[in-house]
């Protein structure tokens, strides 16, 4: 089990790295197209990229493949139930991904890349709180990390006037929505095929974003072509690759630990914003970043509570 958890943690770390650089792509993409248009195209590309992998999808989910064989022997009722679970998972994950991504996209427009990455990581705090309602437990070290994350977020976001900027507010809403997306993935990922769930999630998000784009924006092929590089990165890497790795990586991991690993995207976003876009943060904001990064490290430390035979923060 520990080897599986380490492998899944590594997948989530790779996910965080891809997402961190994606903040730059999203920021640059907004210079050419509207946020809804950007997300409609990127998630459609993400779904298309995954289609060739469908024949190999059961190799990624050997346990589900075996279970599926058992259901096939039981009859069509079980297969119908499995399809309903997949559709429900695609609808739930897709809706929350659509809502979170678009709040994030518009929040980035009024913020820096590094700051947007750290505010989005507010889901570090929200996932364990909502997870408790679902029976998910965390060690004291994880709760310490949550408290430090809150302090870091305060240093990063709150100005002398004790108010949040417009971009900060949008990104905080995004963090709540990503919390629900993470918990939805945590619920559905052990039940259905990862590739199929990813494709369904992307199609739902793309469709909803497309509808909003035609209502509130004026999509054009010329503008999309101008934004082709950031859209392709966000579509192929951030969507097709990273969100699929998230679905696979969250299996056998406590969602709080998974969220803390994925929140490293914030540090990577700040670094990418500094080197690629030459953006900077104030001393207070840098201190907030350091506190949040320390919280992520603390959450990974082993903890042995009385009566436990093994040290683990994932139980």
Residue 313 has pLDDT above 70, yes or no: no
Question: What pLDDT does residue 91 have?
Answer: 97
Q: What is the mean pLDDT of residues 273-286?
A: 80
- Residue that the structure tokens 């659509």 belong to: 98
pLDDT tens digits, residue range 123-133? 877 888 888 88
Per-residue pLDDT, averaged over 75-86, amounts to 79
Q: How many CB atoms lie within 10 A of CB 298?
A: 18
Q: What is the pLDDT of residues 196-236, one digit of tens each?
A: 999 999 999 999 999 999 999 999 999 999 999 999 999 99
Q: Which residue has the higher pLDDT, 305 or 88?
A: 88
pLDDT surpassing 50 at residue 307: no
Q: Mind spelling out the 3-state secondary structure of 291-306?
A: HHHHHHHHHCCCCCCC
pLDDT given at position 74: 54
Looking at per-residue pLDDT, the higher value among 285 and 14 belongs to 14
What is the per-residue pLDDT across 99-109, written as a single tens digit (0 to 9) for each? Answer: 999 999 999 88
Q: For the chain, how many residues are written?
A: 315
Residues 275-288 have a mean pLDDT of 81
When mean pLDDT is compared across 49-53, 274-278, 309-313, the lowest value belongs to 309-313
> 67 pLDDT exceeds 60?
no
Percent of the chain with pLDDT over 90: 38
Query: 């996932």: which residue's tokens?
Result: 127
Is 90 exceeded by the pLDDT of residue 90? yes
pLDDT of residue 15: 93
Residue range 247-266: average pLDDT? 81
Quote the mean pLDDT of the chain: 83
pLDDT at 315: 32
Looking at residue 239, its pLDDT comes to 93
pLDDT tens-place string over residues 148-199:
877 887 787 666 565 678 888 999 999 999 999 999 999 998 899 889 999 9
pLDDT band at 76 (very low <50, low <70, confident <90, very high): low
Mean pLDDT of 42-49: 96
Give the pLDDT confidence score for residue 41 in this predicted structure: 97
Q: What pLDDT does 303 receive? A: 67
- The reported pLDDT for the residue numbered 164 is 72
Q: pLDDT (tens digit, 9 = 90+) per residue, 5-30? A: 778 888 998 998 999 888 889 889 98
What is the pLDDT at residue 47?
96
């Amino acid at each position: 089990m520990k080897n599986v958890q380490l492998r899944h943690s590594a997948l989530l770390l790779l996910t965080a790295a891809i997402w961190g650089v994606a903040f730059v792509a999203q920021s640059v993409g907004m210079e050419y197209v509207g946020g809804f248009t950007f997300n409609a195209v990127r998630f459609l590309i993400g779904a298309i990229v995954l289609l060739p992998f469908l024949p190999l999808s059961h190799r990624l989910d050997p346990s589900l493949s075996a279970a599926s064989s058992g259901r096939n022997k039981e009859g069509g009722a079980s297969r119908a139930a499995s399809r309903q679970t997949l559709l429900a998972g695609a609808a739930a994950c897709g809706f929350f991904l659509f809502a979170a991504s678009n709040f994030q996209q518009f929040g980035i427009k009024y913020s820096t890349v590094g700051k947007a990455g750290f505010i989005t990581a507010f889901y570090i705090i929200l996932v364990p709180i909502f997870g408790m309602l679902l029976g998910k437990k965390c060690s004291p070290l994880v709760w310490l990390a949550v408290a430090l994350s809150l302090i870091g977020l305060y240093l990063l976001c709150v100005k002398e006037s004790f108010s949040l900027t417009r971009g900060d507010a949008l990104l905080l809403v995004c963090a709540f929505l990503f919390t629900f997306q993470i918990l939805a993935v945590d619920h559905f990922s052990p039940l259905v095929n990862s590739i199929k769930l990813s494709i369904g999630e992307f199609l739902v998000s793309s469709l909803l974003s497309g509808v909003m784009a035609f209502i509130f924006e004026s999509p054009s092929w010329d503008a999309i072509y101008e934004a082709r590089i950031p859209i392709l990165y966000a579509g192929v890497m951030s969507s097709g690759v990273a969100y699929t790795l998230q679905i696979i990586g969250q299996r056998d991991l406590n969602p709080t630990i998974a969220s803390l690993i994925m929140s490293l995207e914030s540090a990577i976003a700040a670094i990418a914003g500094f080197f690629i876009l030459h953006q900077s943060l104030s001393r207070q904001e840098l201190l907030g970043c350091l506190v949040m990064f320390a919280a992520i490290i603390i959450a990974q430390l082993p903890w042995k509570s009385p009566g436990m035979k093994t040290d683990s923060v994932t139980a």
